[in-house]
Amino acid sequence: MNQAGEDKELQVTPRQALGSLKPYTAGKPIWEVQQEYRLDRVIKLASNENSLGPSPKALQAIQEQLSDLHRYPDERSSGLAQALGEHLGLAANQFIVTNGGDELIMLISRAYLEPGDEIVVPDPTFSEYEFGAFLMSATVIKVPLRDQYAFSAEDILSVMTERTKIVYLCTPNNPTGTYIPELEMKKLLDRLPTRVLVVIDTAYRHYATALDYSDGINFIKMGYPVITLNTFSKIYGLAGIRVGYGAASEGIIRTLLQVKEPFNVNALAQAAASAALGDAEHVQASCRMNEQGRQQIYEGLSRLSIPYYESMSNFILAELGEHAEILYHKLLERGIIVRYAKGWGLPGHIRISVGTAEENQELLDALGEVLVHTSKPW
């Protein structure tokens, strides 16, 4: 292309909304740390993955589907939607299946947000809610969580305006691991205007052990204007093939389908998710490993005098103080990947995904080693 052609191309400007966007920053992949630090063995405890691995039934379903890859997938993922309905006690037309939970957030943003609308999010929380709002030129209102990162319905209600369109509740919350109790959720839903859509993100719901935890499905059955966000990336161990889903009233689902791309979930993902949904043994084993792993990490952090927050999820937020970033990099040098929490406005913290017993112990041993050579800030 000549110089004149290059000049013309450079005059094309992107939407103004892109100036406000902060692209999602994923945890470092294993290969990158191996290359950067010249390591053979790396343990990744940064992305809240299931260290037990994928559902064996899902792997078998993928194998059986391979010979049909020349066919387009079911555009509506109707087989998976039917299975979800039977599993959760809703009708098949109350589900939308998506390319991971992230796509569902984007669809909700596209379907409901106009420029100038407001969304309300707890702070800190998953960053993709904010990303979807900014993409549609909406405004993000952040409501700080209370002591010990507790949710408060009153705090959320206090920021409602005529422009409020969506409230996001991540429960258990990423990155804090805390949750909103069922009665507190009902208190909020009962007092919110019905023009406000409540998105209840329950990506980590299987790991919650609190008796007053709610995955939001009961509120859908009672007719509240809510949609629950779910994923097969966590407990089912299918993060690599990207499949999630939303559950809501038929009307909300119908609206979201208007902005969904055709064939958004590939055939392998549909088959794997349908099989994983029926793999109760894998789910139970994953829950057991996580509960034991959480306790192992709690005890190890306590021995190291590192403050942490009890979690209802498969990760733990730990407070390392002013040297958190230094300690994070020292762990990388030893082949241990955790998530530095500065992106959530928590520069003194790291988020640790629960791994296998061996992985957890290697993390704790490495933390003990790096602390010896680093002045403790507490």
Residue spans of the domains in the chain: they are 3-53+281-372, 56-279
Mean pLDDT of 64-71: 96
Say whether pLDDT at 11 is over 50.
yes
CB 266 within 8 A of CB 73: yes
**Who contacts 325 (Cβ-Cβ below 8 Å, separation ≥6)?**
340, 342, 347
Q: How many CB atoms are located within 10 Å of the residue 234 CB?
A: 23
Tell me the fold of 56-279: Aspartate Aminotransferase; domain 2 (3.40.640)
Q: Homologous superfamily of 3-53+281-372 in CATH?
A: Aspartate Aminotransferase, domain 1 (3.90.1150.10)
CB atoms within 10 A of CB 329: 12
Task: Tell me what the pLDDT averaged over the chain comes to.
Answer: 94
Q: What is the pTM of this model?
A: 0.92
Residue 5's pLDDT is 55
Q: Judge whether residue 376 has pLDDT over 60.
A: no
Q: How many helices (H) and strands (E) does the chain have?
A: 14, 12
Report the pLDDT value the prediction gives residue 9, as an integer from 0 to 100: 61
Q: Specify the residue for token string 């000049």.
A: 7
**Helix residue spans in the chain (DSSP H):** 3-10, 30-37, 56-65, 78-88, 100-112, 128-135, 153-157, 182-191, 217-221, 250-257, 267-277, 280-303, 324-333, 357-372
The pLDDT value recorded for residue 268 is: 97
pLDDT > 70? residue 228: yes
CA dihedral 34, 39, 44, 45 (to 10 degrees): -130
Per-residue pLDDT, 243: 98
DSSP state of 192: S
Task: Give me the residue label for tokens 């009672």.
Answer: 222
Residue-level pLDDT at 28? 79
Checking if the pLDDT of 146 tops 50, the result is yes
When pLDDT is cut at 50, 70 and 90, the band that residue 147 belongs to is very high
